[in-house]
Amino acid sequence: MRLRKGVHLPSRRETVIQGLVPDVWPPGLVRCRLDRPYNFVVSGLPATESGEVLEGLSGSEHEDIVRVRRAQSGLRAIIAVHSTLLGPSLGGARFYPYEDEALALNDVLRLSRAMTQKAALAGLPQGGGKAVIIGDPRLVKTPTLLRDFAAAINLLQGRYITAEDVGTNQDDMDLIRETTPFVAGTATSHGGSGDPSSATAFGVVLAMEAAAARLWGGVLEGRTACVLGAGKVGGEIIRLLVQRRVVVIASDVDRTKAERALRIGAARVVDPRDALKVTADIFCPCALGGLLTEEVVPDLSFALIVGAANNQLARSGVADSLAEAGILYVPDFLANAGGIINIAEESHGYDQARAAQAVGQIRATTTAVLDRAELCGITPLAAAEELVAERLARARGSADKTD
């Protein structure tokens, strides 16, 4: 069933507020339009008894951007729906202590766009969306805050389905499920697919194997990999690589996670500040994004970069710099799609074997992207983006015919 496009709220007045966030927001419920660079055009609406603030914005690409505030629970969140062209948008809820709301907005815009790319490239009947909750989850995450977040998701009427991400977990999704049906990755006892970390890790290793076959004509055995970020996904990647007789150099800001990496077979641990200086065949970024910039590329000594982190490139032009340096970069939204592929299987009634088979297609997709890049003389990022654009164009054409 196609979901209707958006919830349109009537406006009573309009005014332009320069800058990202004014000191005092109008009370009640407001919708906004996002003007570049991040200016809000605010439409005021009658105040709500709950005192919540909900603002919807639309950027040049995004269908909907919603900013939520609930004073009582301390909730500050932004939900971005990038595209519902292929189906309801799906993407995790990231709970992170952003320094300011400008950084949070920039992150959710980029992350939601990447989710559209993941879903389209994987052939899923899903669109791309994402949510960010601002704050340190260790300090401010409460059941009341999560219920308020779930209530905001309900207001989007199924256009956005949430799941776990950095700072949230399966228990949080189970709690959110009490308020909204628009959540995935809940416990298998609730009919969900559970924690998607292992599926994400498995997909990354499959992409790594496909790229290794292209580069070296063989398997991963005997290669050296530096894995930055040894959390749930990174730790599982380390385990899978050790199984494949890869020499793993692990790195994490959390000493406990770094020590665990050693226990599961990592050869050694390095400080995260030195991870990019390591000499290894493969670099596997599994922490937060934006690490790879034009400035760091000349000093890298890796032959292959493939990892689980989102938005690994600070900007898309870094892909060209990596290619010029002779480094093969597998696009993040290709390699780390295992989680969304696994979760998308819930719509059919989750079956673990079928989900694993679907995630297994990442190897073939990686090979297809590398083939296209080589044939066309472009970067793998450009090749993957072309395939995404082609699928979205076909879907748009079909939608136009039906209208």
Q: Considering the entire predicted model, what is its pTM?
A: 0.84
Which CATH number applies to 14-114+126-187? 3.40.50.10860
Helix (H, G, I), strand (E, B) or coil at 292: strand
Q: Phi, psi (5° rounding) for residue 90?
A: -130, 135
pLDDT digits (tens, 9 = 90+) for 272-317: 999 999 999 999 999 988 899 999 999 999 999 999 999 999 999 9
Q: What is the pLDDT of residue 148?
A: 95
3-state secondary structure 253-272: CCHHHHHHHHHCCCCEECCH
Q: What are the E-state strand segments in 6-109?
A: 14-17, 30-35, 39-44, 53-57, 64-70, 75-83, 89-96
Asked if the domains at 14-114+126-187 and 197-390 fall in one CATH topology, the answer is yes
Whole-angstrom distance, CA of residue 245 vs CA of residue 170: 31
How remote is the C-alpha of 268 from its chain's centroid?
29
pLDDT digits (tens, 9 = 90+) for 76-107: 999 999 999 999 999 999 999 999 888 898 89
Name the active-site residue from 118, 130, 232, 257: 130
- Average pLDDT for residues 334-355, to the nearest whole number? 92
| 230 and 261 Cβ atoms separated by less than 8 Å | yes
Q: What is the pLDDT of residue 400?
A: 64
pLDDT over 70 at 48, yes or no: no
- Average pLDDT for residues 358-381, to the nearest whole number? 97
Q: What is the pLDDT of residue 285?
A: 97
Average pLDDT value over all residues in the chain: 85
Closest Cα to residue 116, out of 392, 324, 399? Answer: 392
Helix (H, G, I), strand (E, B) or coil at 140: helix
Confidence bin at 46 (pLDDT 50/70/90): very low
pLDDT digits (tens, 9 = 90+) for 243-268: 999 999 999 999 999 999 999 999 99
Q: What is the pLDDT of residue 386?
A: 97
Q: What is the pLDDT of residue 108?
A: 92
- Average pLDDT for residues 13-32, to the nearest whole number? 33
Confidence bin at 396 (pLDDT 50/70/90): confident
Q: What is the pLDDT of residue 7?
A: 32
Q: What's the chain's Rg over C-alpha atoms? A: 21
Confidence bin at 60 (pLDDT 50/70/90): low
Q: What is the pLDDT of residue 64?
A: 86
Q: What are the E-state strand segments in 97-167?
A: 127-134, 160-164
Q: Tell me the residue type at 4.
A: R
Label residue 398 exposed, middle or buried (CB < 10 Å: 0-12, 13-18, 19+): exposed
User: In this structure, which CATH number among 3.40.50.1000, 3.40.50.720, 3.30.70.120, 3.40.50.300 belongs to the domain 197-390?
Assistant: 3.40.50.720
Q: What angle do CA 84, 150, 333 make, to 5 degrees?
A: 40
| 63 and 134 Cβ atoms separated by less than 8 Å | no
Among this protein's residues, is 130 annotated catalytic?
Answer: yes
For the chain, the structural domain boundaries read 14-114+126-187, 197-390
| 54 and 65 Cβ atoms separated by less than 8 Å | no
pLDDT digits (tens, 9 = 90+) for 160-212: 999 999 999 999 999 999 999 999 999 988 889 988 999 999 999 999 999 99
